[in-house]
């Protein structure tokens, strides 16, 4: 697979070509995903739940993400590699720059931050200093205690309109990707249409430019809860490589997510 950059994703958005992405946490799975031509890989703070056995992502540290980013980069020289900024690692723009630097030096091509327009100054500072940003809107798992659980976001008109405004403001500040999690498909379509940058969805229907799944969910090896929007591709294919390829192909064709794996 050739080296993937943000320019490739922008071009694919313009061409209407949908792309798949997945989390990964080590060199072996990273290499496996790249061999199947997965263009985008995320070292997610989801590792707190699927690797460490925590009940949320909050205990994950910058050092945890940096360690796993180095591992994944060792197996994925060509995929675009995003790394999550963990809980309270970007409370101020200055703190964000310091911690993003650690993740970029570990091998990330981009960092992902959860939050709305309060992140504008942080996104500006990061991108001005050569750190590409993915802005994460909707269900932001680091806000689990504010939301009162892992709940769908943007169903009310006022909150949906605010999410659209936040997406536009973050794009204007320099965000090069927007990730939408657990939002109604209609809202995901609105945001995807108004933004020039690629939009990646998880639990947001098949209207976004790309899709992402936690690898443990995609392969049916999650230790506890399987979200409604996830699908066990390994059960359908019986082979890990075939499962990854089917996921990539189904995203490209628009077959995944179907109605059964979309938030109403």
CB-side neighbour CA atoms (13 Å) of 119: 30
Give every CB contact of residue 29 below 8 A, 6+ residues apart in sequence: 72, 75, 215
Q: Which three-class secondary structure state does DSSP give residue 164?
A: helix
Task: Check whether 114 is labelled as a binding-site residue.
Answer: yes
Task: Check whether 84 is labelled as a binding-site residue.
Answer: yes
| DSSP state string for 99-153 | HHHHHHHTT-SEEEEE-SGGGHHHHHHHHHTT--EEEEEES-GGGHHHHTSS---
| Burial class for 145, CB neighbours closer than 10 Å (0-12, 13-18, 19+) | exposed
Q: Does the annotation count 181 as an active-site position?
A: yes
Is there a contact between 181 and 169 (Cβ–Cβ < 8 Å)? no
Phi, psi of 40 (to 5 degrees): -130, 130
Could you tell me the sign of the dihedral formed by the alpha carbons of 45, 23, 70, 67, in that order?
Answer: positive
Task: Check whether 46 is labelled as a binding-site residue.
Answer: yes
Task: Check whether 112 is labelled as a binding-site residue.
Answer: yes
Total residues belonging to the chain: 264
From 94, 98, 181, 236, active-site residue: 181
Could you tell me the sign of the dihedral formed by the alpha carbons of 165, 141, 201, 128, in that order?
Answer: positive
The annotation places the binding site for 3-methyl-2-oxobutanoate at: 45-46, 84, 112
The annotation places the binding site at: 45-46, 84, 112, 114
The annotation places the binding site for Mg(2+) at: 45, 84, 114
Catalytic residue numbers read: 181
């Amino acid at each position: 697979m050739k080296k993937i950059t943000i320019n490739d994703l922008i071009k694919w958005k313009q061409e209407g070509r949908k792309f798949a992405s997945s989390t990964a946490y080590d060199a072996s799975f990273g290499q496996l995903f790249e061999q199947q031509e997965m263009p985008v890989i995320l070292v997610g703070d989801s590792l707190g739940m699927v690797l460490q056995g925590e009940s949320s992502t909050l205990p994950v540290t910058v050092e945890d993400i940096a360690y796993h980013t180095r591992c994944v980069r060792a197996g994925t020289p060509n995929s675009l590699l995003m790394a999550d900024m963990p809980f309270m690692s970007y409370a101020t723009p200055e703190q964000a720059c310091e911690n993003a630097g650690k993740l970029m030096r570990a091998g990330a091509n981009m960092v992902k931050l959860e939050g709305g327009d309060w992140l504008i100054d942080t996104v500006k500072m990061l991108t001005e200093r050569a750190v590409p940003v993915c802005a994460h809107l909707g269900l932001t798992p680091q806000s689990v205690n504010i939301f009162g659980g892992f709940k769908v976001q943007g169903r009310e008109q006022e909150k949906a309109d605010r999410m659209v405004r936040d997406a536009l403001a973050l794009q204007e500040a320099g965000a090069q990707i927007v990730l939408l999690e657990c939002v109604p498909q209609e809202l995901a379509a609105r945001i995807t249409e108004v933004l020039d940058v690629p939009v990646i969805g998880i639990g947001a229907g098949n209207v976004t430019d790309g899709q992402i799944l936690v690898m443990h969910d995609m392969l049916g090896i999650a230790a506890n809860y399987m979200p409604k929007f996830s699908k066990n591709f390994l059960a359908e294919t019986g082979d890990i490589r075939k499962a990854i390829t089917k996921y990539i192909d189904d995203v490209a064709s628009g077959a995944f997510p179907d109605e059964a794996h979309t938030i109403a």
